[in-house]
Amino acid sequence: MAKNKNKKRNIAKRIRRAGENRKVKRKLTLAKLKKDQQRSASSEKASLSAEPPPDGFRTISTNQAILEYARPLMEKAEGEENIKGAMQAAMVFWNYSIAAKEGNIGTMLADMEKKILKALRDSFHMDEASGKDFLEMMVARYDYLFPRDIQPREAPFMFIRKDVAYLIRPVDASRIQLNQDVVVADDEDRMLFQELQWLDELAVMNADFENIDALLSSLKDRFPAAFQKWLIAKGLAKEFAIEFSTCLSIWFDFIYAYEHDEDTSLVSVPASSWFEFFHEFLLRKTVVKPPLYVHWPPALKLFYQYLHERNFVKSAHEAVRFIQDIEPGFYDLLRKQFS
């Protein structure tokens, strides 16, 4: 017993050190805003399908709407710091566009314009004329993507224009077959799974999120690389291994940082949680090119095979069966949203 307590204390120390030294390195795919801009837990539960969008539009969470709106800024940003700066600027552009649309032309709007032009000059080297042209384009973009007269009232989501149609095509199953050779765990794998076991135990005990946040962040940073390495060793093409490994972070967030209606942990995912993840959470919380959403079903099937080979779950069959049952409806939802 003492030995196990010491082991957990040592893991905790490593996690704290990792948290203190870790640099921000996740891509801006999760549609997250600052805490004071996040919605309440009750509104987070609101269904994207609660009110159908008009023809030519699709439903999108407000956080995702801001990221979609900010694409022209993101395309100009190079390097992590500039991307973070672009995201901060996006909020100012967003608020300016709303104010301009509502006809607010007072001092506040003029001050916002000055800040925007300065940011464009400092970050993107635009002169005043180019900056004003870009700002005018962004206001028009807001008008075009989010017409005011069709927006739902008092809802945590918006209707965005389908300005591009995407082909939604599931990944060819014949391209993601793994060989049957067991990949022996190395020291890093063993350490990761010790920490994952601890995290799952905390989830089962309904521990306060602040008690697991650092551990969750550390595992989200490190698990994709281990999963990718395993996939390649099992014979999966590198391009798929890279894409599928990036799918883990949002799954970890769903399992460990989200309030579920039923008891949910990585080892025990009820049917309702699988459905909620694919039909609600994933589309609300993640912004990727729409055809890439089809990577999550095969990625999570393979992830549970990985968990099984590492003896973390008794079998991958139940998870695979749940995902297979949900897949047809999930692909139909993607086509409805993006085609």
* Residue-by-residue DSSP string for 256-271: HSS--SS---SS---H
Which one has a higher pLDDT value, 225 or 261?
Answer: 225
Cα separation, 291 vs 338, in Å, equals 9
Those residues whose C-beta lies under 8 Å from the C-beta of residue 68, and which sit 6 or more positions away, are 60, 145, 160, 287
- Segment of 58-72, 153-167, 265-279 carrying the highest mean pLDDT: 265-279
Contact predicate 146/269, CB 8 Å: no
Residue type (1 letter), 31: A
How does pLDDT run across 185-201, given as a tens digit for each residue? 999 999 999 999 999 88
Sequence ranges of the domains in the chain = 35-161, 173-338
Comparing CA positions, the residue from 241, 249, 224, 248 lying closest to residue 175 is 241
pLDDT at 148 over 70: yes
pLDDT at 132 over 70: yes
What pLDDT is attached to residue 80?
60
Q: Region 57-73: what's the mean pLDDT?
A: 84
Comparing CA positions, the residue from 241, 220, 327, 228 lying closest to residue 279 is 327
Mean pLDDT, the chain, integer: 81
Contact predicate 109/100, CB 8 Å: yes
Q: Which long-range contacts (CB under 8 A, 24 or more apart) does 10-17 make?
A: 11/194, 11/195, 11/198, 11/215, 12/215, 15/195, 15/214, 15/215, 15/218, 16/214
Q: Region 251-277: what's the mean pLDDT?
A: 90
Residue type (1 letter), 227: F
Q: Region 153-169: what's the mean pLDDT?
A: 81
How does pLDDT run across 196-240, given as a tens digit for each residue? 999 988 887 877 777 788 889 999 999 999 999 999 999 999 999
Q: Name the percent of the chain lying above pLDDT 70.
A: 82
